[in-house]
Amino acid sequence: MTRYKQPVSVLVVIYTANLDVLLLERSDHSGYWQSVTGSCEAGEALRDTAIREVREETGLDARQYPLTDWQSQNIYEIYPHWRYRYPPDITHNTEHVFGLQLPQPVAVKLDSREHLNFQWLAWQAAADKVFSPSNRAAILQLASRGCCHMEAGG
């Protein structure tokens, strides 16, 4: 039996107070850089999905840092070459955006099945490098959100 992904996911922008952003290079598409992303599992809360995906993709424990639900969602068309992962006739995904603020850039532990490399970039450079328009838009929000998350209790 084929286990399909749900068309509900999280995007977790991992950044520092200085607005450096962690990017991961996809192993299935070299040159495609992104923030942490992943689909919700059945019955899983969005925050739990964000925590799980951060752990799976970076080895970091998101519960140790300020994790903020940005109360923002994007509905986008699933790239045709990735639609086989979803139930038949599903063409769109709803992505929920979170931010995870670290005190400074850290080395992360990648799962080679998912990602080839990581890098920390200034937010502007990170926004220019990601392939996903919704990921770019989320990173660009950092300029207005800044490090206010921690000060506001985010």
pLDDT digits (tens, 9 = 90+) for 121-130: 999 999 999 9
User: Per-residue confidence at 2, pLDDT binned at 50, 70, 90?
Assistant: low
What residues does each domain of the chain span? 8-151
Report how far apart, in Å, the C-alpha atoms of 96 and of each of 61, 138, 139 are: 19, 10, 14
Least confident among 24-28, 41-45, 145-149: 145-149
| Cβ proximity of 54 and 14 under 8 Å | yes
Q: Mean pLDDT over all residues of the chain? A: 92
35 vs 2, which has greater pLDDT?
35
SS3 21: strand
- For 8-151, the fitting CATH number among 3.30.1330.40, 3.90.79.10, 3.30.465.10, 3.30.460.80 is 3.90.79.10
Q: What is the pLDDT of residue 29?
A: 87
User: Per-residue confidence at 12, pLDDT binned at 50, 70, 90?
Assistant: very high
Say what percent of the chain tops pLDDT 90.
84
**CA 33, CA 135: separation in Å to the nearest integer?**
10
Indicate if the pLDDT at residue 1 is higher than 70.
Answer: no
User: Per-residue confidence at 70, pLDDT binned at 50, 70, 90?
Assistant: very high
Indicate if the pLDDT at residue 52 is higher than 50.
Answer: yes
As given in the structure block, the two tokens for residue 154 are 């985010």
What's the pTM?
Answer: 0.90
